[in-house]
Amino acid sequence: MQLPLFYEPQIAKDLSTFNLSENSSKHCVQVLRMKIGDRLHITDGLGNLLTVRIISAHKKNCSVKMLDRKFFPSDRKNLCIAITPTKNSARMEWLLEKLTEIGVTKIILMQCEHSERLNIRYERLHHILISAMLQSQQLHLPQLSELTSFEQVISKENYAEKYIAHCADDAEKAILPTNKTEQSKIILIGPEGDFSPHEIALSKAHKYIPVSLGETRLRTETAGLVAAVLLLH
């Protein structure tokens, strides 16, 4: 039987016993009804997997003893999705969950000229990534950015392959290729109102390749998921 997996971001390597966070303790003791002697897994989201045994089952301060520690390097392709948050926050939360499940390594929340949402609840979104990582039994948590301007993204992010998906008429635009290389990749996904002509021109000046995701016009969150699947698989 597979052990339940918990997330604890900061665990010193030299500790033999330690306390779980209050949230993990509550879930462990109150929700799963785990008791002294039960074993569980812990990850820090960086590839480390700890096997521990409960030595004090308290709902606010559960103590565990280290039994084993292993490191699993990531076998994910280095893919960044830079996307404009949707006006409907539930749609963006759904997307972040799915991007985590399929193995995207970095997600940049991007502010563009036609952005509909100018603020985000970063802590809530980060928690959604953690939950999706644990639910899908992964050990690597995607990196999530705070809201970042379009100009900062295209000037600072360094990837071998760089794409921008937009809906404007563009003789240079081609269908996004499915993944055929192991090189690092980034793709920019704009808001429902699309990127502005200025943003498209600026991206080309920074060597971004304009691409289409197909014949139909996709919602922002659908476009983000389609792009990720095409570039990962």
Is residue 111 located within the same domain as residue 171?
yes
| Domain extent at residue 63 | 5-71
CATH number at residue 53: 2.40.240.20
Cβ atoms 57, 68 nearer than 8 A: no
Tokens standing for residue 92: 């963006």
Is residue 169 located within the same domain as residue 101?
yes
Residue 173, Cα to own-chain centre: how many angstroms? 27
Q: What is the mean pLDDT of residues 222-227?
A: 95
Pairwise CA distance, residues 110 & 81, whole Å:
10
pLDDT of 175 reads: 86
Residue 110 confidence (pLDDT) above 60: yes
Question: pLDDT tens for residues 16-51?
Answer: 899 999 999 999 999 999 999 999 999 999 999 999
- In this structure, the dihedral spanned by the alpha carbons of residues 189, 193, 195 and 196, taken in order and rounded to 10 degrees, is -170
CATH number at residue 86: 3.40.1280.10
Please, which pLDDT band fits residue 206 given cuts at 50, 70 and 90?
Answer: very high
Number of CB atoms found within 10 A of residue 58's CB = 15
pLDDT of 85 reads: 94
Residue 1 confidence (pLDDT) above 60: no
Number of CB atoms found within 10 A of residue 217's CB = 11
Query: Which one of 20, 42, 71 terminates a domain?
Result: 71
pLDDT of 145 reads: 94
Tokens standing for residue 31: 């929700």
Is residue 161 located within the same domain as residue 59?
no
Q: What is the mean pLDDT of residues 147-176?
A: 91
Residue 178 confidence (pLDDT) above 80: no
Q: What is the mean pLDDT of residues 138-151?
A: 96
Pairwise CA distance, residues 167 & 194, whole Å:
7
Question: pLDDT tens for residues 45-59?
Answer: 999 999 999 999 998
Pairwise CA distance, residues 81 & 83, whole Å:
6
